[in-house]
């Protein structure tokens, strides 16, 4: 049994900590005060790219692009927690191929990798890509999406509306999830690359949010938006492989523990701020306050361990569906509790609206919503534990 | 975070012992105020009584991780019996903290005889007067039948009392298979004492082994009530398929899994020589919180049957409650962890395992 962190992960954590303290948190606070995402030409993004961020993991057309070893899921979780500690909104705002990259690497044709990930090999400027699944009428129930894809000669016509899509208006391309047959649920769905500027892609609206203001959550419409056949992820012949890939992915999950780790990071930031406040105001001698801080510390530690356990299983390619959902359900709740305790500890200072804990309190709520709500996570666990019918 | 192959063998052996020797006799052991002769012999034969004893003293020389894994397995069958089977009554950490002389004088004879009557008590909770080396007063309950050696624990000291003890049997709310006594101490004397970090570490160890017993009881409650909920039907389907119960069963399992990780991490820290006093107290506190949910919920899922002694859920609820009150219970654990917290700037600053 070993709970230690390896030296390389520790080094990366130190780097993340330094960057977080120096750049991420100030940028996150700036966006929060501004009430809007950081603009694409913000100096933060330029620096992010200059220090090597925002690149693809794809090794390039000849397989020779210099890439360090891919981080383990456990290391990714530790980094996710640390970065979210400094500013979770900024971690999402950071340039790069983002969420769809794994799908392109796993399912895309070589041509698609070159065309869509190629520009992320050697960045000339900050670039973004994004994945669009959520719709006004389909959140957790992804099988219910209504955006339609209709074959039209050598291309596809897309029609529908997407919402809450991170970075859509600034993305070079959006990987849009659409259905060719709504009666088939997930089985009828396909993913399409839609490049910025494609006729029919528009009506971008950056939503006003309670928290996590540093990145844009955007709604947009697709109206008779025509994309060529080669924009279908993986191409038609590869759909059987895609199904196989998805089946494999269903047994271990790395996405939910990442959000869980984010929640732990935000909660930990709230805890540290609350502790600092308690120290400054000599509150730690009060049993009631110390006990509540202890409970929070304990629960955050537990949530972290649950994340790491799920990550460790994913690294070993062992089934982790229960552990991943458990980590997500627990960490999101605990993160919220930590920020709530922080607010109660600082009292009216928090209500004033300019304290970091107040921002964290608004930010952390989303962690119980994105990547499946706590209720969805319980349904997933219950399917395993008691075969809860779908 | 997985146990080594060696520890997995130990876990499997202990599970087999618990399922074959303890589980079929849980009510008999309660009635008899102790496990049967066969169970005692088998326990000794597979070497579980000398798990942590140094190899130089003919023990297995294993650490806190091994202890918590074994205790969970034993308690998943019968926590009272698990307590009674240990000839040192869970007091090994105290004897180890007191040093080789104490271990040889008070521990080895009991281990050699495969039987001991050692009681553990949390001193701040007892009505005791300790003046110099003299101890007078009473201890309301210990999970031990007629003890002749008492290990007293406090946040910053542990001590042994070997004489002047009068025990009166009590029925016990839980852990009846361990026996139970109320103690009077008149003119008792402190036979050995240690203070400071060694004592704090001994307390941490005792908290962890008790937390692991809680894990076992909770696991049993989760597994039994889940299986029942899949068999029992109401309104045309298994009760587990009603979302209210499905979510309750899910919450119970998640509480157990989280608490277990805290116990394992604290035990690993202890074995690795890292700071562990606050972590062990936290882990115990979290187990106690978890049992508040799991103990009564196990009964609840079985409804009326849960309340009856025909099913083991009422026992699990009582056992969990009793275990959670030992070693100072929740308040002392939280106090300990809280005190550790005040000494740290960033308590979770990913210095974990450094």
Among the listed residues B183, B181, B180, the one whose alpha carbon sits nearest the alpha carbon of residue B139: B183
Query: Which chain A residues contact residue B347 at CB under 8 A?
Result: 271, 275, 297
Banded model confidence at residue B325, pLDDT cuts 50, 70, 90: very high
A12 touches chain B (CB under 8 A): no
Contact B241 A386 (CB under 8 A): yes
Contact A385 B249 (CB under 8 A): yes
* Percent with pLDDT over 90 in chain B: 93
Cα nearest neighbour of B353 on chain A: A4
pLDDT of residue A248: 44
What mean pLDDT comes out for the span B241-257? 97
Banded model confidence at residue A186, pLDDT cuts 50, 70, 90: confident
Among A123-137, B210-224, B331-345, the range with the most confident prediction by mean pLDDT is B210-224
pLDDT of residue B353: 46
pLDDT of residue B116: 77
**pLDDT above 50: residue A247:** no
Residue in B253, B264, B347 closest to A297 by CB: B347
Query: Which chain B residues contact residue A268 at CB under 8 A?
Result: 348-349
> According to the 3-state scheme, what is the secondary structure of chain A?
CCCCCCHHHHHHHHHHHHHHHHHHHHHHHHHHHHCCCCCCCCHHHHHHHHCCCCCCCCCCCCCCCCCCCCCCHHHHHHHHHHHHHHHHHHHHHCCECCCCHHHHHHHCCHHHHHHHHHHHCCCCCCCEEEEECCECCECCCHHHCCCEEEEECCEEEEEEEEEEEECHHHCCEEEEEEECCHHHHHHHEEEEEEECCCCCEEEEEECCCCCCCCCCEEEEEEEEEEEEHHHECCCHHHHHHHHHHHHHHHHCCCHHHHHHHHHHHHHHHHHHHHHHHHHHCCCCCCHHHHHHHHHHHHHHHHHHHHHHHHHHHHHCCCCCHHHHHHHHHHHHHHHHHHHHHHHHHHCHHHHCCCCHHHHHHHHHHHHHCCCCCHHHHHHHHHHHHHCCCC
Could you tell me which residue, B26 or A244, shows the higher pLDDT? Answer: B26
Could you tell me which residue, B115 or A322, shows the higher pLDDT? Answer: A322
Pairing verdict, β B118-122 and B157-161: unpaired
Banded model confidence at residue A143, pLDDT cuts 50, 70, 90: confident
Instruction: Output the pTM of the full model.
Output: 0.94
Phi, psi of B105 (to 5 degrees): -75, -45
pLDDT in tens, A218-230: 999 999 999 999 9
Query: Which chain B residues contact residue A81 at CB under 8 A?
Result: 350
pLDDT of residue B322: 97
CATH of domain A245-385: 1.20.140.10
Q: Which of residues 260-279 of A touch B (CB under 8 A)?
A: 268, 271-272, 275
pLDDT of residue A245: 46
pLDDT of residue B115: 77
* Residues A341/A290, Cβ–Cβ less than 8 Å: no
Residue B118 bridge partners (DSSP): B149
Q: Given phi > 0 = left and psi -120 to 50 = alpha, else beta, which region is B328?
A: left
Cα three-residue angle B306-B308-B314, rounded to 5 degrees: 55
Q: How far is CA B207 from the centre of its chain?
A: 7
Please list, in sequence order, all residues whose beta carbon lies within 8 angstroms of the beta carbon of residue A284, skipping any fewer than 6 positions away: A275, A278, A290, A293, B342
pLDDT of residue A187: 85
Q: How far apart are the first and last CA of chain B?
A: 15
A312 touches chain B (CB under 8 A): yes
DSSP label at B2? Answer: P
Contact B269 A3 (CB under 8 A): yes
Banded model confidence at residue A250, pLDDT cuts 50, 70, 90: low
Could you tell me which residue, A371 or A386, shows the higher pLDDT? Answer: A386
A18-32, A152-166, A173-187, B88-102, range with the lowest pLDDT: A173-187
**pLDDT above 70: residue A240:** no
A281 touches chain B (CB under 8 A): no
Contact B249 A386 (CB under 8 A): yes
pLDDT of residue B203: 98
pLDDT in tens, B268-284: 999 999 999 999 999 99
Indicate the helix (H) or strand (E) that contains B150: strand B149-154
The CATH architecture to which B199-341 belongs is Up-down Bundle (1.20)
B79-93, B107-121, B158-172, range with the lowest pLDDT: B107-121
Among the listed residues A370, A371, A349, the one whose alpha carbon sits nearest the alpha carbon of residue A358: A349
pLDDT of residue A238: 63
Q: Which residues of A27-60 are buried (b: 16+ CB within 10 A; e: fewer)?
A: bbbbbbeeeebbebebebbeebbeeeebbbbbeb
What mean pLDDT comes out for the span B134-163? 96
Q: Which CATH class is domain A1-72+92-242?
A: mainly beta
pLDDT of residue A48: 97
A166-175, A188-197, A237-246, B30-39, range with the lowest pLDDT: A237-246
Distance CA A297, CA A316 (A): 29
Q: Mind telling me how many Å the CA of B267 is from chain A's nearest CA?
A: 10
Residue in A308, A322, A386 closest to B230 by CB: A386
Distance CA A240, CA A371 (A): 25
pLDDT in tens, B42-74: 999 999 999 999 999 989 999 999 999 999 999
pLDDT of residue B113: 85
Cα three-residue angle B292-B298-B299, rounded to 5 degrees: 100
Distance CA A239, CA B59 (A): 60
* Residues A168/A159, Cβ–Cβ less than 8 Å: no
Q: How many CB atoms lie within 10 A of CB A69?
A: 7
Banded model confidence at residue A39, pLDDT cuts 50, 70, 90: very high
pLDDT in tens, B34-43: 999 999 999 9
Residue A156 bridge partners (DSSP): A151, A227
Distance CA B46, CA B16 (A): 11
What mean pLDDT comes out for the span B178-190? 96
What mean pLDDT comes out for the span A60-66? 80
A373 touches chain B (CB under 8 A): no
Distance CA B5, CA B12 (A): 10
Distance CA A225, CA B98 (A): 79
CA distances to A97, A144, B70 from A222, rounded to whole Å, are: 21, 17, 60
- ipTM score: 0.94
Please list, in sequence order, all residues whose beta carbon lies within 8 angstroms of the beta carbon of residue B6, skipping any fewer than 6 positions away: none
What mean pLDDT comes out for the span B166-184? 96
Q: What is the CA radius of gyration of chain A?
A: 21
- Residues of A annotated as catalytic are 371
Contact B262 A298 (CB under 8 A): yes
Distance CA A305, CA A293 (A): 18
A344-348, B56-60, B334-338, range with the lowest pLDDT: B56-60
A145 touches chain B (CB under 8 A): no
Average pLDDT over chain A, rounded to an integer: 92
Please list, in sequence order, all residues whose beta carbon lies within 8 angstroms of the beta carbon of residue B291, skipping any fewer than 6 positions away: B214, B217, B218, B320, B321, B323, B324
* Residues B136/B168, Cβ–Cβ less than 8 Å: no
The ranges of chain A annotated as CATH 2.40.110.10 are 1-72+92-242
pLDDT of residue A138: 82
The ranges of chain A annotated as CATH 1.20.140.10 are 245-385
Contact A294 B257 (CB under 8 A): no
Q: Mind telling me how many Å the CA of B154 is from chain A's nearest CA?
A: 19
pLDDT in tens, A355-367: 999 999 999 999 9
pLDDT in tens, B313-324: 999 999 999 999
pLDDT of residue A137: 87
């Amino acid at each position: 049994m070993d709970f230690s962190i390896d030296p390389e992960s520790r080094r990366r954590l130190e780097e993340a900590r330094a960057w977080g303290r120096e750049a991420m948190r100030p940028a996150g606070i700036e966006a929060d005060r501004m009430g809007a995402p950081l603009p694409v030409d913000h100096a933060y993004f330029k620096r992010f790219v200059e220090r090597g961020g925002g690149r693809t993991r794809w090794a390039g057309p000849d397989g020779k692009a210099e890439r360090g070893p891919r981080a383990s899921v456990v290391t990714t979780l530790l980094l996710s927690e640390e970065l979210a500690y400094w500013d979770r909104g900024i971690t999402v705002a950071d340039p790069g191929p983002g969420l769809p990259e794994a799908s392109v690497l796993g399912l895309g044709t070589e041509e698609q990798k070159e065309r869509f990930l190629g520009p992320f090999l050697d960045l000339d400027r900050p670039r973004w890509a994004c994945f669009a699944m959520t719709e006004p009428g389909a959140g957790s129930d992804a099988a219910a999406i209504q955006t339609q894809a209709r074959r039209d000669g050598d291309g596809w016509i897309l029609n529908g509306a997407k919402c809450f899509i991170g970075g859509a208006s600034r993305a070079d391309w959006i990987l849009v999830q659409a259905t060719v047959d709504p009666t088939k649920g997930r089985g009828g769905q396909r993913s399409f690359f839609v490049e910025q500027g494609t006729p029919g892609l528009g009506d971008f609206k950056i939503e006003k949010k309670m928290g996590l203001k540093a990145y844009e959550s955007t709604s947009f419409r697709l109206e008779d938006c025509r994309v060529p056949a080669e924009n279908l992820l993986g191409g038609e012949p590869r759909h059987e492989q895609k199904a196989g890939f998805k089946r494999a992915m269903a047994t271990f999950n790395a996405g939910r523990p990442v959000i869980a780790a984010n929640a732990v990071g935000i909660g930990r930031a709230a805890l540290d701020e609350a502790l600092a406040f308690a120290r400054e105001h000599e509150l730690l001698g009060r049993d009631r306050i110390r006990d509540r801080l202890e409970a929070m510390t304990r629960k955050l530690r537990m949530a972290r361990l649950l994340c790491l356990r799920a990550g460790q299983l994913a690294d070993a390619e062992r089934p982790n569906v229960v552990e991943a959902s458990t980590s997500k359900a627990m960490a999101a709740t605990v993160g919220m509790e930590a920020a709530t305790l922080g607010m109660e500890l600082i009292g009216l200072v928090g209500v004033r609206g300019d304290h970091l804990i107040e921002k964290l309190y608004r930010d952390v709520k989303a962690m119980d919503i994105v990547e499946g709500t706590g209720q969805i996570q319980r349904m997933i666990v219950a399917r395993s534990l008691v075969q809860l019918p779908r | 975070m997985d146990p080594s192959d060696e520890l997995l063998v130990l876990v499997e052996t202990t599970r087999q012992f618990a399922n074959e020797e303890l589980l079929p006799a849980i009510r008999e052991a309660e009635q008899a105020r102790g496990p049967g002769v066969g169970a005692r012999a088998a326990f000794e034969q597979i070497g579980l009584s000398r798990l942590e004893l140094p190899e130089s003293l003919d023990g297995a020389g294993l650490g806190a991780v091994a202890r918590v894994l074994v205790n969970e397995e034993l308690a998943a069958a019968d926590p009272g019996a698990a307590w009674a089977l240990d000839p040192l009554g869970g007091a090994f950490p105290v004897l180890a903290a007191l040093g080789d002389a104490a271990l040889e004088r008070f521990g080895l004879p009991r281990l050699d005889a495969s039987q001991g009557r050692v009681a553990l008590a949390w001193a701040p909770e007892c009505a005791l007067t300790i003046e110099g080396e003299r101890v007078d007063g009473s201890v309301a309950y210990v999970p031990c039948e007629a003890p002749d050696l008492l290990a007293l624990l406090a946040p910053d000291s542990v001590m042994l009392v070997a004489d002047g003890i009068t025990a009166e049997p009590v029925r016990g709310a839980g852990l009846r298979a361990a026996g139970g006594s109320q103690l009077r101490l008149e003119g008792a004397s402190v036979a050995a004492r240690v203070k400071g970090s060694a004592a704090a570490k001994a307390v941490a160890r005792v908290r962890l082994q008790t937390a692991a017993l809680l894990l076992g009881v909770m696991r049993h409650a989760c597994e039994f009530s889940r299986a029942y909920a899949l068999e029992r039907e109401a309104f045309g389907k298994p009760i587990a398929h009603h979302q209210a119960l499905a979510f309750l069963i899910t919450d119970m399992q998640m509480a157990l899994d989280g608490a277990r990780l805290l116990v394992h991490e604290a035990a690993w820290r202890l074995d690795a020589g890292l700071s562990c006093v606050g972590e062990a107290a936290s882990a115990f506190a979290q187990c106690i919180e978890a049992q508040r949910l799991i103990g009564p919920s196990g009964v609840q899922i079985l409804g009326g049957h849960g309340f009856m002694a025909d099913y083991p859920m009422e026992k699990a609820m009582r056992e969990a409650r009793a275990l959670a009150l030992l070693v100072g219970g929740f308040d002392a654990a939280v106090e300990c962890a809280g005190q550790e917290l005040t000494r740290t700037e960033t308590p979770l600053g990913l210095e974990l395992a450094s």
